[in-house]
Amino acid sequence: MSTWINVAAVSQIADGGFCTVDIDGTDIAVFNLDDEFFAIEDICTHDGGILTGGSVEGDQVICPRHGARFSIRTGAALAPPAYEPVVTFPVRVKDGMVQVRDNRWD
C-alpha cells in the first residue's frame, strides 16, 4: 500500500487555495474547498501543462493555457479542449496535517 505524504498543515492552505507536492515524479495539487481537501494530478489532459497557474472558480480549476476546466472534486473534464479527466488522489487530515497518497499502484 502507498504511503501517506505530508503536504502542509491545515492552516497553511487557505479556503479556495492550494499547494502542490511531488510524489515520485508526479505533481499533485491539493485544494481546500470550504475546509474539505481534494487532490488531483497537476497536469492538463489536453496538452500536459500545469493546472495550478489557472484560476479556481467554485470547485473548478481552469487551465491557464487554453481554458479547459476540471472538477477539483472528481477530476472530470468539464470544458474543451480537454475531454479526459485528471487523476484524483486520496486525501486525509491527520494530526493537523493534510496528507495525500498515490494509490494508483496499490
Grid coordinates representing 86 are 485528471
Domains of the chain: 5-100 (2.102.10.10)
Rounded CA-CA distance 24/13 in Å is: 22
Confidence band, pLDDT 50/70/90 cuts, at residue 81: very high
Cα 13 to chain center, whole Å? 12
Strand (E) or helix (H) holding 9: strand 5-9
Rounded CA-CA distance 72/106 in Å is: 22
Rounded CA-CA distance 103/63 in Å is: 24
Please determine, for residue 1, whether its predicted confidence score (pLDDT) is greater than 80: no
Condensed to tens digits (0 to 9), the pLDDT of residues 23-76 reads 989 999 999 999 999 999 999 999 999 999 899 999 999 999 999 999 999 999
pLDDT of residue 105: 84
